[in-house]
Chains A and B, each alone.
Chain A
Amino acid sequence: MDVVLRAEAIGKVYGGIVALDDVDFDIERGRVAVLIGENGAGKTTLIRILAGVEPPTRGRLLLDGRPVRFDSPRAAAAAGIAIIHQELSLFPDLTVAENVFAGCEPRRLGVVADRARAERETRAVLERLEQPIDPRARCGGLPLGQQQIVEIARALTREARVLIMDEPTSALSSAEVTALFRLIRELRARGTAIVYVSHRLEELMEIGDRLTVLRDGRRVAVAEAADASVGWIVEQMIGRSVAATAGRPAPAAGEPLLGVEGLSLRREDGRPLLDDVSLGVAAGEVVGLYGLMGAGRTELLECLAGARTPSAGAIRLRGEAIERLDLPARLNRGVFLVPEDRQGAGIFPSLSVAHNMTLASLRAHVRRFALSPVAERETVARMASELAIASATPEIRIGALSGGNQQKVVIARALLTRPRVLLLDEPTRGIDVGAKAELRALVRRLAEGGVGIVFVSSDLEEVVGVADRIVVLSNGRVTGRFASSEASHEELVAAAALGHGRTAGKDAA
Chain B
Amino acid sequence: MSLLVRLRALVALAVLVVVFSYLTPAFLTQGNLVMLAKHVALNAILALGMTFVVLSGGIDLSVGSIAGLAGMTAGWLLHDGLVLRPLGVVVYFSAPAVIGIGLLVGLAVGALNGLLVVRARVAPFIATLGTLYVARGAALLISGGATFPNLVGRADLGNTGFTLLGTGTLLKLPAPIWMMAALGMAFAFVAGRTPFGRRVYAVGDNERAAALVGIRVARVKLAVYMMSGFCAALTGLIIAAQLQAAHPATGATFELSAIAAVVLGGTSLSGGRGSVGGTLVGAFVIGVLNDGLVLLGVSEFWQIVIKGVVIVAAVVVDQLASRPGTGAVPGRQR
Residues of A within 8 A of B (CB): 305, 307, 327-328, 331-332, 337, 339, 344-352, 355, 358-360, 362-363, 366, 369-371, 392, 395-397, 399-400, 413, 417
Contact = CB atoms under 8 A, between A and B. Distances in A.
Interface stretch (B110-118, B195-203, B294-302): B195-203
A199 B210 CA distance: 34
A400 B198 contact: no
Contact of A346 (B193, B194, B209, B325): B209
A59 B220 CA distance: 52
A396 B216 contact: no
By size class, the interface of chain B is 20 to 34
B328 interface: yes
A328 B212 contact: no
A371 B327 contact: no
A349 B193 CA distance: 20
Contact of B206 (A331, A337, A348): A348
Interface of B: 189, 193-195, 198-199, 201-202, 205-206, 208-216, 268, 272-273, 324-329
B211 A307 contact: yes
B286 to A, nearest CB: 25
A347 B209 contact: yes
B194 to A, nearest CB: 6
A445 to B, nearest CB: 23
A371 B194 contact: yes
Given A345-B206, A349-B205, A350-B273, A396 B329 contact: yes
A415 B58 CA distance: 31
Give the interface centre of B195, B199, B202, B212 by most chain A CB atoms within 10 Å: B212
A331 B195 contact: no
Given A350-B272, A370-B193, A399 B214 contact: no
Contact of B201 (A351, A399, A413): A351
Contacts of A362: 195, 198-199
B188 to A, nearest CB: 12
Please provide the 9 A-B residue pairs with the shortest distance between their CB atoms, ordered closest to farther. Answer: A362-B195, A400-B327, A331-B214, A328-B214, A360-B213, A370-B193, A350-B272, A345-B208, A348-B205
Contacts of A395: 329
A359 B202 contact: yes
B193 A371 contact: yes
B195 A397 contact: no
Given A371-B193, A371-B198, A350 B329 contact: yes
A371 B205 CA distance: 20
23 contacts: A327-B214, A328-B216, A331-B213, A331-B214, A344-B206, A344-B209, A345-B206, A345-B212, A348-B205, A348-B206, A348-B209, A349-B205, A350-B205, A350-B272, A351-B329, A355-B198, A355-B201, A363-B195, A371-B195, A399-B324, A399-B325, A400-B325, A417-B214
Contacts of B199: 359, 362
A309 to B, nearest CB: 13
Contacts of A363: 195
Nearest to B207: A345
Contacts of A327: 211-212, 214
B2 to A, nearest CB: 10
B221 to A, nearest CB: 15
A236 B211 CA distance: 42
Contacts of A397: 327-329
A351 B324 contact: no
A285 B145 CA distance: 71
B205 A344 contact: no
